[in-house]
Amino acid sequence: MEVSEQKYKEEVKKRRKLHNEIEDMKGKIRVFARVRPINSKDAGGNRVVAEIPDEMTVKIETRQGNREYHFDNVFGPESS
């Protein structure tokens, strides 16, 4: 099962790369998101409200409930 899941993830990445190349040729605008790490000013009693379930989705915890946003690519706090 793990091997199949790994192969699936690789194929999804290949498909996304080819799709992005086509979108670039068409001149379409792509939207990226970056979830920054908590810095020393933020750390005082605050908690993380953003979750990145996959490379294209961000889930945000709000007062009205959880919201899910989709982007062309999402960069997490560990990204450089």
Model pLDDT for residues 8-28, shown as the tens digit of each residue: 989 988 998 898 888 888 888
Contacts of 71 (CB under 8 A, 6+ apart): 31, 32, 33, 56, 57, 58
Annotated domain spans of the chain: 1-30, 31-80
State the Cα–Cα distance between residues 9 and 79, nearest whole angstrom: 19
Single pTM value for the model: 0.59
User: pLDDT at position 48, please?
Assistant: 74
User: pLDDT at position 67, please?
Assistant: 93
Confidence bin at 45 (pLDDT 50/70/90)? low
